[in-house]
Structure 1
């Protein structure tokens, strides 16, 4: 019964997001890219991790993490207006322009690692149902990732970035549909009360802060709007980034809240396997939902970060490198990361690189605010505080994925 209801909800939501009138609007398309990147594997792993570290305060910890992310988004929305205008007129040797280039270099590295990581996770999920010699799994996963990146690159080269955005759009629709089904299943299980366990005690300590800051990578992705200037005007990017963060925050908070009766079980597990155990406890077939959700999450997040990376290279080159070619270069860098490193070992570097990028965005906001007289003293103080929080994440954030 629970599985049937969850499946119906998932189908209805997926079809509405795919074929609804609003789904064809530029507003929704510009929302999809940051939304796809924000909702990667985070909604699957945050529950067990936060339950283990914070107990019954897991929802409060998730809210704090989302607040940090929204504050960083506020800085980037300021920069979409003021930094972009400054860089469009700044000479090559302008100090702010050089700071922006360094910032973009940090983000390019973070994107390459994150795309490789998302697709490597996707490959491993895809290989789970297949009986394959464990010795060959790494090679098979690397081949799958390379093929996926090549296909996305061919889409970009064969037409325009719109074709790649359609891929992101489709996977986001499936992902949100599956998440809706999982939320309904959790809600029914909670309402019946048959499987609810005793809540773990609230745990709050300074030692939990590094792990919480290490989870920044699970709620990042909104910064992709900053590098979609080739496709959408600033006003639309600002509005849709805000919408993407609102939608993602609602999903994260609802998921953690509905996991509340199962926090004791979640605290004893970790990673995607933990969510698989909990959902299988409610109904065994829901494990398939989790696997499909995980695969669609990784694909949509990888596509979104690839789009952001292509826009980034396009901006850095002052439009001399086209977006499809930039997309190809970003894909080649991701392939190198896949074959030369183990993404699970370098995910902490990716998380810290994103935190460093946000800190540098705060620095850019302060510099441009002072130079152009944009914003108030309260704005600059806010930029500094958010930048310091991001720097703390760079130096003490513990790896939360992998």
Structure 2
């Protein structure tokens, strides 16, 4: 009972702080919320069981390595916010660099469409795991549920109500972070009350097959690149600073979550499906599963709406506004529905990661290109960008489904 009480108090306190406190009204926080909302999906919920299964007791260092890669990519994006944007203002329409930028936008539009399938597939997995349903029909029901949500989002573009839904999605960030605070508090209290117990950890393991799986989880820590496209609302310095804040805060949350799951790594290796965290949290306190379910639904739905809007907007830009809002959303969401029906939840995680890895590789290439053109960075920095791009290409080629 103490675990539940303290978890609820933490959840309510953080939600109130981020909803009605001075922080909620600050420009810095508003600029941080957009990338943070995208990064903190349900990745912090699914990574524990998946990494425990593949890396055993080495799950936490594996998570740290994945976050380090994401931060390195963030350095590339932050460089591009300043130098690529400034250089782009001087380009003609048919400059090769301008074409390369459009290729990056096109890849990001596709990546966003695929990520919507990823977010909503996870939402369906969490919802269906919490209700009794025949396993034989599980996949079909999940796909139908996801397709109905996507159709509803598409219809909203015809009603003119999408902006209201977008604002609601941003408002859920405070609730989402409150739920996360409650989950972490519950895990911390459980561990403190069982401090004397010996830990039964699975053996640490790393193999050649582990690396592709880790790269296949890149989507779970992605989302910081949204700061790149907030130029109409915030200046460059604000976007660079707040993207860094979003990455550092989300990294702290991921590491804290996985660290606090350490006593349950043995059980996590046997958790079934991407919603296996529900089984683990039931060991802490039965009602903690409710925290997980609510957090997953808020996380996935808000992130799916944000990426759906981003995908439609980028398709409009890539078409040089030859496609209207409704047509762009039809194209994006038709691709999303195709991905939903052609992949399982594990495969869509790897597919999303590969799509974003390609986009990040293009961004790294642009960073090297603009650095050489404008002499904005040293040879060492250019080498670092090239290395990040190479790693992203490898991730796009070999990122493996988390299910095997």
In the alignment, the residues of structure 2 paired with residue 149 and residue 29 of structure 1 have an alpha-carbon distance, to the nearest angstrom, of 27
- From 289, 292, 303, give the equivalent of 1:290: 292
Q: Which runs of 5+ in 1 are unaligned?
A: none
Tell me the alpha carbon deviations over residues 244-270 of structure 1, each in whole angstroms, 9 at most, x when there is no partner. Answer: 111110100100111112222222325
In the alignment, the residues of structure 1 paired with residue 273 and residue 333 of structure 2 have an alpha-carbon distance, to the nearest angstrom, of 27
Change (3 A) 1:320 1:82: farther
Map of 1:50-61 to 2, 5 A cutoff?
50-61=51-62
In the alignment, the residues of structure 2 paired with residue 229 and residue 142 of structure 1 have an alpha-carbon distance, to the nearest angstrom, of 36
In the alignment, the residues of structure 1 paired with residue 252 and residue 325 of structure 2 have an alpha-carbon distance, to the nearest angstrom, of 32
TM-score when normalising by structure 1? 0.89
In the alignment, the residues of structure 1 paired with residue 4 and residue 158 of structure 2 have an alpha-carbon distance, to the nearest angstrom, of 41
Say whether the 8 Å CA contact 1:39–1:297 is kept in structure 2.
yes
- From 274, 280, 283, give the equivalent of 2:282: 280
**Could you say which residue in structure 2 is the equivalent of 1:245?**
247
C-alpha displacement at 1:69, in angstroms? 0.1
In the alignment, the residues of structure 2 paired with residue 243 and residue 318 of structure 1 have an alpha-carbon distance, to the nearest angstrom, of 33
C-alpha displacement at 1:181, in angstroms? 0.7
C-alpha displacement at 1:134, in angstroms? 6.7
Map of 1:217-256 to 2, 5 A cutoff?
217-256=219-258
Change (3 A) 1:54 1:362: same
**Could you say which residue in structure 2 is the equivalent of 1:177?**
178
Relative to structure 2, which stretch is displaced further, 263-272 or 370-379? 263-272
In the alignment, the residues of structure 1 paired with residue 210 and residue 282 of structure 2 have an alpha-carbon distance, to the nearest angstrom, of 29
Map of 1:348-359 to 2, 5 A cutoff?
348-359=350-361
**Could you say which residue in structure 2 is the equivalent of 1:87?**
88
Map of 1:146-157 to 2, 5 A cutoff?
146-149=147-150, 152=153
User: Does 1:31 find its partner at 2:29?
Assistant: no
Q: Secondary structure at the match of 2:276?
A: helix
C-alpha displacement at 1:70, in angstroms? 0.4
**Could you say which residue in structure 2 is the equivalent of 1:264?**
266
Say whether the 8 Å CA contact 1:37–1:221 is kept in structure 2.
yes
**Could you say which residue in structure 2 is the equivalent of 1:49?**
50
Change (3 A) 1:356 1:322: same
C-alpha displacement at 1:170, in angstroms? 2.4
C-alpha displacement at 1:382, in angstroms? 0.7
C-alpha displacement at 1:29, in angstroms? 2.5
In the alignment, the residues of structure 2 paired with residue 46 and residue 85 of structure 1 have an alpha-carbon distance, to the nearest angstrom, of 37
Relative to structure 2, which stretch is displaced further, 141-150 or 321-330? 321-330
C-alpha displacement at 1:64, in angstroms? 0.9
TM-score when normalising by structure 2? 0.88
Say whether the 8 Å CA contact 2:106–2:318 is kept in structure 1.
no
C-alpha displacement at 1:356, in angstroms? 1.3
**Could you say which residue in structure 1 is the equivalent of 2:390?**
388
In the alignment, the residues of structure 1 paired with residue 209 and residue 148 of structure 2 have an alpha-carbon distance, to the nearest angstrom, of 42
Tell me the alpha carbon deviations over residues 130-183 of structure 1, each in whole angstroms, 9 at most, x when there is no partner. Answer: 566777766654554455445556766777976344222222222211111111
In the alignment, the residues of structure 2 paired with residue 117 and residue 164 of structure 1 have an alpha-carbon distance, to the nearest angstrom, of 20
**Could you say which residue in structure 2 is the equivalent of 1:313?**
315
In the alignment, the residues of structure 1 paired with residue 25 and residue 329 of structure 2 have an alpha-carbon distance, to the nearest angstrom, of 23
Say whether the 8 Å CA contact 1:69–1:219 is kept in structure 2.
yes
Tell me the alpha carbon deviations over residues 91-119 of structure 1, each in whole angstroms, 9 at most, x when there is no partner. Answer: 23211122222222222111111112212
**Could you say which residue in structure 1 is the equivalent of 2:75?**
74
Q: Secondary structure at the match of 1:89?
A: coil
Relative to structure 2, which stretch is displaced further, 187-196 or 390-399? 187-196
In the alignment, the residues of structure 2 paired with residue 349 and residue 116 of structure 1 have an alpha-carbon distance, to the nearest angstrom, of 10
In the alignment, the residues of structure 1 paired with residue 140 and residue 270 of structure 2 have an alpha-carbon distance, to the nearest angstrom, of 32
In the alignment, the residues of structure 2 paired with residue 165 and residue 25 of structure 1 have an alpha-carbon distance, to the nearest angstrom, of 19
Q: Which runs of 5+ in 2 are unaligned?
A: none
Change (3 A) 1:393 1:240: same
In the alignment, the residues of structure 2 paired with residue 164 and residue 2 of structure 1 have an alpha-carbon distance, to the nearest angstrom, of 34
CA-based RMSD: 2.9
**Could you say which residue in structure 2 is the equivalent of 1:188?**
189
Between Structure 1 and Structure 2, how many residues are aligned? 402
